[in-house]
């Protein structure tokens, strides 16, 4: 079993451990930008899935030459949009099983997200998750930067006293997740049933390619 050699696993939240009704996050972005009269580059939004949400907004506005002060307004609208659609989120079919497997093997369990802490808490409540089930919760805003920067993985490794990248597995569904893991020097597994094109994900050369989260137990 692959997980036996790892001391810790960090799972991405949306698209990996939690599924959304199709297009929820993108729609929340689109509505926030349109409310603030900003042109939307849909390809940009899709290709940047997995990154910190405020960073995505900052990058798009900067590329469009829009004043930085607009960032916070768009971000606040995005958060409000997600909060209003919190029932669009549910646990992936095998999430609870995989989390239980990780814990049964005495492997440290982490969850990470580019969403703000307030929304993570709402999603956790929606799913009936007790945050104490995790040994580590990573919020991009709180560690200072989002994927593909390795700050979250580095923070988890430091907090849990893990010194070797070979003992740590990052599991996600976007190119940003894979790049984050590679930048941190840890092993990476990508889920093809998530939010990005499988060809793009394979081109990132993750250590493990999985059709679904459940496949972790079968490697």
**Closest C-alpha among 22, 16, 177 to residue 91:** 16
pTM of the model: 0.92
Residue 4: the pLDDT is 53
Alpha helices in 92-160 (DSSP H): 95-104, 117-127, 140-143, 151-159
Query: Which contiguous run of DSSP H or E holds residue 60?
Result: helix 53-63
Residue 101: the pLDDT is 94
Classify 111 as helix, strand or coil.
Answer: strand
- pLDDT lower than 50: segments of the chain: 1
CA pair distance 171, 139, nearest whole angstrom: 16
With tokens 């969850």, the residue in question is 111
Residue 39: the pLDDT is 84
Beta strands 89-91 and 168-172: pairing type?
Answer: unpaired
Residue 145: the pLDDT is 86
Task: Residue 3: count other Cβ atoms within 10 Å of its Cβ.
Answer: 16
Q: What number of helices (H) and strands (E) belong to the chain?
A: 10, 8
Tokens at residue 1, please?
């079993």
Summarised one tens digit per residue, pLDDT across range 12-49 is 999 999 999 999 999 999 999 999 998 887 888 888 88
Cα 40 → chain centroid? 22
């Amino acid at each position: 079993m692959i997980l036996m050699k790892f001391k810790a696993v960090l799972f991405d939240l949306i698209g990996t451990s939690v599924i959304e009704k199709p297009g929820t996050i993108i729609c929340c972005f689109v509505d926030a930008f349109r409310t603030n009269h900003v042109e939307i580059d849909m390809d940009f939004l899709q290709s940047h899935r997995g990154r910190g949400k405020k960073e995505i907004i900052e990058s798009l506005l900067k590329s469009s030459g829009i004043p930085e002060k607009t960032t916070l307004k768009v971000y606040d609208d995005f958060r409000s949009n997600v909060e209003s659609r919190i029932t669009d989120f549910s646990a992936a079919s095998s999430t609870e099983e995989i989390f239980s497997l990780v814990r049964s093997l005495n492997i440290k369990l982490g969850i990470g997200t580019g969403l703000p802490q307030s929304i993570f808490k709402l999603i956790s409540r929606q799913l009936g998750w007790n945050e104490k089930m995790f040994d580590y919760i990573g919020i991009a805003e709180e560690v200072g930067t989002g994927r593909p920067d390795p700050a979250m993985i580095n923070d988890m490794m430091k907090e849990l006293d893990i010194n070797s990248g070979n003992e740590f597995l990052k599991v996600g569904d976007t190119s940003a997740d894979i790049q984050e893991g590679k930048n941190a020097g840890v092993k990476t597994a990508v889920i093809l049933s998530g939010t990005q094109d499988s060809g793009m994900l394979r081109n990132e050369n993750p250590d493990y390619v999985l059709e679904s989260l459940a496949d972790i137990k079968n490697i």
